[in-house]
Structure 1
Amino acid sequence: MNKKLQQFRILIVLMLMNTSAVITAQAQEFTINKLKYKVISTTPAEVEVKKSNIFPNGAVTIPSSVTNSGKTYTVTQIAESGFTNCKLMTSVMIPNTVKTIGTSAFRFCTQITTINIPQNVKTIKQQTFESCSALQTITIPSNSEITSIEANAFDGCEALKNFTIPDKVESIGNFAFVNCTALENVTIPALVTSISNDIFSGCSSLAAINVTPSNSTYSSIDGVLFNNAQTILIRYPMGKILTTYNVPASVKVIENSAFKGSSLPTINLGNAIETIGNLAFHNCEKLKSIDLKSVKTIEREAFRNCGLTSITIPNSIQVIEEQVFANCKNLTSINFGTGVNTISSRAFFHCGLTTVTIPNSIHTIGDNAFDNCEKLTEVNIGSAVANIGTNLFADCEKLSAINVDEANTKFCSDEGVFFNKDKDLLITYPIGKTLTEYTVPQSVQTIGESAFEKSSLQTINITNNVRIIGKNSFNGCSALEKINFPNSITNIGRFALYNCSNLQKIHSSINKVNAVTVGNYAFDNANNTTCILYVPKGKKTDYKNKEPWDSFKNIQEIAKSVVSVSLNENAKTINISESFKLVASIDPSDADNKDLAWSSSDNKIAKVDNTGNVTGIGAGTATITVTTIDGGKTASCEVTVNSTKISLTVSLIGKISKEYDGTTKASLTADNYKLVGVGTGDKVNLSNTTGVFADKNVGTGKKITVTGLTLIGKDKDKYFLSATEVSGTIGEITPKAITVTADNKSKVTGNTDPALTYTVKPALCNGDKFTGSLKRTAGESLGDYDILQGNLDAGTNYNISFVKGTLSIVENAIAVTGVSIECPNNIVKVGETIQLTARINPDNATNQNVTWESSNKTTATIDAKKGLVTAIAIGTTTITVTTEDGKFSATCLLTIEASSGMQTLRSSILKLYPNPVESICTLETSNLGILKIYSLNGKQVRTIPITSNKQQIDLNNLQSGIYIAKINNKVIRLVKQ
């Protein structure tokens, strides 16, 4: 009993202690002047500024100490999210007592323009100033203790133009300055040893990233950031404006996001580069081409959304990583190196490719590799491809043929349709194929995922060996009107007929509908209200009571079903290109559904159309099968095609012309060949497109000979060439146009002439040489003489355009020994001009050219050639003159005073921004009154009443130029753009 009593007393004590703690905790928070404080230590007495429901506004000053209930506390911290979303604050003054500023402390404070970070703060934490979009000035003392800037610290500070990273900073986190769009330059101090990825992404004005020379980890060359050894290029600033950038020869690695968002049109990679990192050239929309040289690794998304038009993958690359060229919409051509063995997922997603040939080195193609290539018309798959992902060619709306090398052991193609090698899996029917009706081959057991998705077929005949219809198989076939399900079907995947919105008839021969698995949404939006679903006799109730078949509102039974079908021929022998017609007879002849589907076991031997017309294509034997849509009844005919080939002849036509190039090479196009004997619709071409002229010299009606002709094209096996060599007199070689420019020369009077030389563009071909020489007009007096072509000649293979030169005969030059300035007055008034004169010693020196320069162009400018000074503003400037010969110089000091209309103006103490201004600016002043604006000649051009200490001023109607703004004897220089 005593033990239980003791436990009860302890419980009461604990409850009282807990209550006391709650009361104490509540007493630890208090609010003074809209700032909420929390006591974080009683000894010493310290508080942090905590987030409050009462948001401060305007200029906020955090005190160094506060007093509550008679006790004074030192403010040492700003809590995490302490001022987050305080959108009405315009500036913040933080006392030197603050040592910690919490994560996200000023996040989304979108009106803050100025803030300071006290000396003893050691870390600028994550997201501290994220999205402070108006923040322009951050004041940090020179003896700051900051050692790290964490991730996203200044993310989205769009108005921040300048930021000095404190000297003691050692690390800068991910995305620290991302989207600081006004940031112009940054200097990395000596102690920084860690810079994370993408810290300057989106800094579109950043022109230079400079590194303190004593830094042992990083370096910079011309504002580009590297590691210290300059083997890794870390970041090229987005705002650096060049047309060409040459990566230094020492660089081996292009780091992640290194050129991200760059506007460079040309980037030349060094020969040492081995690795290109993730997103390295992401969004380089002006980059049209790049030579990858011997790069070994290109990481994911490296060229995503670039402006590339063509690319050659070097032999050193084995894997094209995920999304490397995704969204390169202008990329129309790609050449694969012999080392490439893998194309990863979405590698060429949404590219501009028109044709793709997968070389024999590639064995793996990832999911959606060519997805959404809207211009792609043809794909040729090499012999080694053994592994493929799903949806390789999804949304390739113009793709009409997928061809597979016959040597491939895993896949094949038939009439441009993609299958596995056994042809029991139909993988892809190209979206751009223009047939209206298609019969699935008899060998097919599975129609693959998305196989017919978005095709334009109107009728699809599924033969009676098909068991599985994959998900999305016919999804989006908006033109599809008729389809059938044979009794062999066991599984219909999700979304199989989804969005087949024009479907009119479905013929189902499935007798045991309850045994068929149908995935979700298989028949959704398939015109379910009006589409007629035909089902076997006596099975209507089964279909009406089974989801999702019951979604069809018009289910009709076949009253009289097909019992059998037969053909008029069981075997037939024909020649290549020969045709005959098969006629099918249905029993009973009055069956309700007499629709038929025709197919060939090998379209390369014999083809059959939708009406039973059979045509011989190549030597061999093929089986032609007819299948009834109702019931899937079949009959077949074995067709043997003889091996006789058709002879073709070739002649050269048209005209082949080239400019003289010193060779006999002749380039031909398809328009220069005439191939006689090709059957209608057959695709046969010639492989050789080069020949030779009888000689290399200029002339017309020249003989051209082409040898080694061979046939190419899908129907080439039906034909042979009667001759593999052809010639014709259709050639023309025209003279090569060159420009010979005589080089300008000079000599001192009395000397012999220099050698007369010339420049030739373009160069002569293959060792051709000039004969003869240049000449000049006669004379030895001082002056200029023409250098002429003389008898210089290059022969009949060239047309010469000659540009004459000049031989100048001059006196011996007298050298400059000094210079002085004649200045009529050393004091000039604002708006006035003064002419300075240079006196060169000796006064008969040959070269009298000088240049003028003002040391203070805001006070006075000077014409660099003429020496005319224009006074702009009150102050002083040193004028320097420098001789071109000898670089002698002299100086004079000018004092600029106020003009008579502006004698009361003093140096600028007003605050006006932006300055220069295009239209609207803001004036801040403690003196209200009338703002007067003067031109530089003292004329008053505007008066504006100032009724507020901070007032916007509309200067739209003020002409571009430099002005003086004055209010109550306080002035400022104003530049109107």
Structure 2
Amino acid sequence: MKLNQLLSANLRAMALGLSGIFAVANGLMAFGYDFSAKNKLEVEIFYNINPDGNTVTVTYGAEKYNATSIEIPQTVSHDGKEYTVTAIGQRAFENSFVRDIVLPNTITEIQNYAFAASKSLVNINYPASLKNIRRDAFSYTNITNGILPEGLEVVEESAFYGAAMDSLYLPKTLISIGKSSFERCQNISNLTIPGNLKIISKSAFTGCTKLTSVTIEEGVESLGVRPYDGTVFTGCPLKEIKFPSTLTYMGPSCFTGNKFTELVLPDNIKELGTSCFANSSELESIVFSKSMTELPNFVCESCPKLITVTIPEGIKKIGMNVFKGASLLSHVNFPESLTEIETAALGHIGIVDFTFPKNLTYIGSQMFENCENLTELVIPSTIKEIKNSAFSRCSNLRKITLPEELEVLGNSAFQYCSSLTDVNIPANIKELPESAFSDCSGLQKIVIPEGITEIKRYAFMGCSSLTDIELPKSLTMIRATVISGCKSLRNLIIHQNVSLIEQHAFDGCEAIEEIHLQRAVLPESPMAQGWLVNRPVINADNNCTLYVPKGSVESYQESQYWNSFKNIVEEEYAEALNYQLSFPYSLTGGQILVNGEVAKGGIKEFEMGSDIVISTTAKDGYHLRALLVNGKDVTAEMEDGSYTIRNIDANYTVDAEFAENPFILSLFMANGGSLDVDVEKRGTFTCVIVPEEGWKINTVTFNGSDVTSELTEDNRYTTPAITRNSVLRVTFEDMNSAIGSIDYDATSVKVTVDNGGEVRIEGVEAGNPVRAYSVDGRLAGQVTSNGDVDVINLSQHGIYLIQTPGKTFKIQY
């Protein structure tokens, strides 16, 4: 007896679940069934007993069913018990060779993949008892019968995906169809959707390439599920559709690729998904529902025959590219309720004019981009902002009037508007953005009003016909490549408030002959970003003369960013100008002060006619060596430590040199006093020592070290490099002393003295007296020689005579 027949009812439920699981390994299929029995045509059919113990489900056996025709019986007997057949089991006939199958009127369910991929299956009946058709039950089959029975309630996901049925009837009892349930059923031509189907799932009929007519009955509320599910009829060449009054939502791409020529959406429609009617190649007109508040992104994109659009009052928002590609759409009337517009709302269409709704305060990014039929437009005073690329590539736009109330102009707003010859720029705009009018090759004249402070990069780049551009006095900066490629521009006046002109600002201005830069203070010229390399504001092969204020020409000629002009000449201006003082970026040993404030490196501006007081402060251990103005040493002209430039009318360069404070070299000789000499740090000092008549040099010491042997023949001595305060001392001996009466060599006696008054006497024979006398004859000290080094300590500074046997020495302490 089979194992399943021995299980209890609960275990049978578990066994049934397991019996539907299969796996492929090494080309073999694991399978399980409770019993098999032959039908009246002797075809063996396999069954699993259901948990109720009274019904069975048709399942698969060891091999695929390969009979041409199979009739499933209503009942089947096994081991003396009769069972009712109620279901076709999961994958029971998957990939089988059956062509015709007859189902009994006891079948309530056709399970997952029951007949999937059975390419031979053509004919089947759907019994009146059928309630559920599960996932992929008939996917990729060639069944022709699509007349589903009344009583059927559920058709699950992909149930008939790719099936070949040539007609489809959905019973009124149907309450649910899963996503892609009838996708790619390419032979269906018409369809009625019953009202019990409140929601039509995603892609339910996608790719039904012959479906031309659909009736949606009352009760249906939604085509797709909010917010992302849609594509219900994507790729269906629908020509006719009937909407119910209950329908409120049609999801994304719901009707993409249809063949409608006219569409009137009922006023019960509240919401459309993105691209709902995109790629409607035959659509000529559409009327949107009065219950809608928004036209979603791409709603009618790529509708090349669209001519008429009716947008009702109540619409507040227009999505991006709603009519993109509608080259025949020449007029669009937006309702007064409109307040918000997304990117490229009307881009790439055939619009020739436009009336702005009163509640709209801005023109969105790319709103009219590539509208090649737009020739003239007046922007109303309600518009405060024009966003990026709003009119970009409107190649036939000849005239546009901007309101004085306009405050913001976006990047590339009019880029590539090649027919635009002139445009008014409102005074409320404070800056011209990047590429605002770039490549407007027909633009001839532009007046930039007072109030604008900055022109950003590429603003007029490629405006090849531009001959006249008037810059305001309020302008403070001109970015790189602003007028690059303006081949017809011959002269330019730049006022003195422009403190920044980037490198490459005048690249490609081949015809420019004069630039009048009314600024003595050099504008900053920072390197432009990206691919632009570090080089001057104009190419070296130019034919342009740069005119600058009197007193500033040398500053421009010395600048690496401005010296590439063919000529730089001075001219006088009636207006008061500012002039500059240039300072070094770093100084060693001190600082420069201008009008009492530290002058940091770079440039400092001053009003014409000002008096400028320049002073210096030295760091500890340093002193001012020289103050330089325009390269001239003016140190001697400083009064009370300051130098004044009076009534400034030119640019000046100011520099200062600081040196380390010197060391003091004290010279001590027997001359009645010492001499202090300043010696630069690490410098040397040379002196010639000349004894008085009757005296000669005895010893020379430098910082206590005996350097007598370093004297030259002419008694010249040079110190080593001095790295601290130092002392040079000389002692002298009396050449007239009587030395003949003594018994030792008195010429070998040496006398030295240090800073503390310690006198050291060497070379005196032991037992002989050594005495120290002041110049007034007072005995200052005495000692009896020990024959080695004798010491006498002097208590007061002065000149002393050191008397030894046979020799007298003169020293200073």
Higher relative contact order (CA 8 A, sep 6+): 2
Q: Report if TM-score (shorter chain) is over 0.5.
A: no
TM-score (norm 2): 0.43
Structure whose alpha-carbon radius of gyration is higher: 2
Q: Normalising by the residue count of structure 1, what TM-score does the alignment of the two structures yield?
A: 0.37
